[in-house]
Amino acid sequence: MTKLKWTGFAKKSPQERIELIKTFGLLDSESQDILENQVSLPLEIANQMAENIVTELALPFAIAPDFLVNGKSYQLPMVTEEPSVVAAASFAAKLIKHSGGFKTTVHSRQMIGQVALFDVTDFEKASTHIMTQKSFLLELANQAHPSIVKRGGGARDLWIEQKEDFLIVYVSVDTKEAMGANMVNTMMEALTPSLEKLSKGQTLMAILSNYATESLVTAECTINISILSRNKEEAHHLAKKLVMASQLAQVDSYRASTHNKGIFNGIDALVMATGNDWRAIEAGAHTYASRNGQYRGLSQWSYDEATATVHGQMTLPMPIATRGGSIGLNPTVQVAHDLLGNPDAKELAGLIVSLGLAQNFAALKALTSTGIQAGHMKLQAKSLALLAGAREAEVGPLVQKLLNEKHMNLTTAESLLNSLRNAKRS
Ligand code: HMG
């Protein structure tokens, strides 16, 4: 295989990027064909995926190259409409690679289902009755979905909590490569008649929880501060500011929200590219961010002056899937999995959390040094030029003019485009 070199990937045209991916032999022939011929989701398949379909909404599909995760280089597919997100991720990947890349830990990978019971008059008795039948109930859950047991998964544990007037029965389920929503819901519903009998209460609902605390994943990296600045003193100062930025997100919810939004710029982009349910991932992670009663930043950065390194780490629920749902239906999603080397769910979860941490690093680095506008607006200018109606050949010159403006907005872009066109005519 050709030695992979990604410098300048951003400056290539989409066609040249596809050619490069081909040269690197990163895709099988089917995925290559999908990319080359721009095969999209057939409308008849889209019509089976949701309801009342009339068309499809396309989004940009990009690649953030050369993420070193657990010693292996990955090219991460990112679906996003926002300028500077992919640039920032690529930039962070490049810098972090020089310091050894990311390390990930998958703490466990199980989903949690819950059955909420009400009208339970004796909580203690109900709990005792349910817990003495724990093995029977787990077996009952497994009988409701025998195929997952055949694949080596199934219901693993059951526990009870009393919250206000509710007796809640939780069940953890090993869903293997699937996200498992349907599987867990089927299991929970199968338990309700027995739970009602044992508790002498009534079922309010039986459903999967998106707060996947049994699917926690950690990504971390240690970065030499020399990448923050060549000047030792300035690097030291910037490292301290980076740590303060992470502390600010621990104490101020207004900042924590934006801090985490930046993290999700990366996470959502890869979750979407791989055909996963980004609402589920967002819901679980935001609940995790407020697990101690206050909404806080998901990542944390520390500075070790002795080794002149900053250490970033982030843990969050990442119940990602590589099978099921719409994953096998969308041709571009297939390309994304192929590009990643068809990882299993645990490997994919580690990549997603690493990307979130990289995105956070790029944002904090920019915020605490040049400010976000310098890098972001440079790329935002392209969107403004297109929005103003610039044709392909006009985008470059218009972006240059926009970057010299104090107030970069659509009105300015339109007026600059007009003057460009007038100058050309005269
Ligand atoms: P720079 O130093 O001007 O970049 O940074 P450079 O031109 O020196 O290029 C360095 C590398 O960056 C390139 O390496 C690429 O990997 C990448 P090369 O390929 O040349 O060997 N890169 C690009 N990749 C693709 N397309 C491009 C491109 N440009 C550079 N056009 C950069 C420029 C934008 C990377 C930097 O300023 C940055 O990271 N800024 C942060 C931007 C950001 O975080 N954007 C997210 C949107 S803002 C937001 O929603 C979140 C936020 O509110 C979150 C928070 O508050 O925490 C900020």
Instruction: Classify 68 as helix, strand or coil.
Output: strand
Q: Beginning with the edge strand found earlier in the chain, give each strand of the sheet holding 61-69 in spatial order.
A: 72-79, 61-69, 102-106, 216-224, 309-317, 299-304
pLDDT in tens, 159-215: 999 999 999 999 999 999 998 899 999 999 999 999 999 999 999 999 999 999 999
Angle in degrees, CA 396, 402, 406, rounded to 5: 160
Where in 52-97 does DSSP place strands (E)? 61-69, 72-79
User: How far away, in angstroms, is 249 Cα from ligand 1 center?
Assistant: 21
pLDDT in tens, 242-288: 999 999 999 999 999 999 999 999 999 999 999 999 999 999 999 99
Q: What's the mean pLDDT when you consider all of the chain?
A: 95
Q: Whose CA is nearest to atom 3 of ligand 1?
A: 375
Q: Which atom of ligand 1 is nearest to the CA of 376?
A: 42
- Which pLDDT band holds residue 3 (cuts at 50, 70, 90)? low
Q: Which atom of ligand 1 is nearest to the CA of 8?
A: 19
Task: Say yes or no: CB of residue 299 within 6 Å of ligand 1.
Answer: no
Q: Burial level of 422, CB count in 10 A (0-12/13-18/19+)? A: exposed
Query: What pLDDT is recorded for position 307?
Result: 97
* Cβ(299)–Cβ(220) below 8 Å: no
Task: Say yes or no: CB of residue 87 within 6 Å of ligand 1.
Answer: yes
Residues 89, 359: Cα–Cα separation, whole Å: 5
pLDDT in tens, 378-424: 788 888 899 999 998 999 999 999 988 888 889 999 999 999 999 98
pLDDT in tens, 286-319: 999 999 999 999 999 999 999 999 999 999 999 9
Q: Whose CA is nearest to atom 12 of ligand 1?
A: 91
Residues 316, 350: Cα–Cα separation, whole Å: 10
Task: Say yes or no: CB of residue 65 within 6 Å of ligand 1.
Answer: no
Query: What pLDDT is recorded for position 7?
Result: 85
* Cβ(10)–Cβ(16) below 8 Å: no
Is the pLDDT at 2 greater than 60, yes or no?
A: no
Residue among 20, 91, 359 to mutate when testing ligand 1 (max atoms within 8 A of CB)? 91
Is the pLDDT at 84 greater than 90, yes or no?
A: yes
User: How far away, in angstroms, is 85 Cα from ligand 1 center?
Assistant: 7
Catalytic sites, residue numbers: 82, 261, 277, 376
Q: Whose CA is nearest to atom 5 of ligand 1?
A: 375
Query: What pLDDT is recorded for position 350?
Result: 98
Per-residue tokens: 315: 């843990």
Query: What pLDDT is recorded for position 379?
Result: 81
Q: Whose CA is nearest to atom 9 of ligand 1?
A: 91
- Domains of the chain (ranges, CATH numbers): 9-107+215-369 (3.90.770.10), 111-209 (3.30.70.420), 374-423 (1.10.8.660)
